[in-house]
Structure 1
């Protein structure tokens, strides 16, 4: 069955649902989990997603962006740690990973490296137009992953 389950989460509202589905699946098959969060500057909650674009930046502004990004990384890691503890409390083997960059290729790469047999990921249900213009992480993963993908619909 699915012994190695990669769980791709972000900081959106659906992440909790994704975790619950993954915990249920892992418990049912006595599987291992890897919790993965790819930190993207384009994420809705990223401190850099609405950063002003200018021809030049002051040192103070750059330092502020660095501080905001560091805090974002730490807060995201704390969420992963809390979910990791929840899995451990259920006697599920779990590890976590957090990386910076474009989530879709990171998810596929880590799943392959870790030899995941299933990826659990959420889908927010953006309109067809926004998916065409912006792309969709879940769509990318479905079409490019080496293993099965379970989509949790918001």
Structure 2
């Protein structure tokens, strides 16, 4: 029986679709949600550029803080929406490489299922940019449901 669902979310166009499908699944099961957002250097060019001056470092720190606040606000809004729908939800924000972070948190939290979106990357773009959903499917210790973008 599915009781704990880890929901990996980012702030792109798949986020709402993943969340909506998770609520549809979780509500009748009375499952608990753990909403996760992983901040990563690849999401923001300023994070991957080495700061060389105090001005550069301040700009980097400001951009990171803005990204962190916006992502946390998104998670909290989604948690409120879940609770309004009668689904218990908690939030976590982490920093690192998304695939391994998602798998580790799922294991630590005791997730029965991981919900993750897919951008539909194939071929060279998947090889160059990576695929979080592909990593999670192959490394998670529990079941994984991949939510695809509509065709």
Please give the TM-score of this superposition, normalised by the length of structure 1: 0.92
CA RMSD of aligned residues (A): 1.4
4+ residue runs of structure 1 moved beyond 2 angstroms? 46-49
Counterpart check, 1:91 vs 2:74: no
Distance 1:95 1:149 in 2: 19
Whose helix fraction is larger, Structure 1's or Structure 2's? 2
Task: Give the number of equivalent residue pairs.
Answer: 149
Cα distance, 1:134 vs. partner? 2.6
Deviation string for 1:89-140 (max 9, x for gaps)?
A: 0111111100011111000000000000000000001131111223210000
- What corresponds to 2:95 in structure 1? 100
Please give the TM-score of this superposition, normalised by the length of structure 2: 0.94
SS in 2 for 1:119: strand
Cα distance, 1:52 vs. partner? 4.8
- What corresponds to 2:46 in structure 1? 48
Distance 2:77 2:18 in 1: 14
Structure 2: runs of 5 or more not aligned: none
- What corresponds to 1:2 in structure 2? 2
Distance 1:3 1:98 in 2: 21
Counterpart check, 1:122 vs 2:117: yes
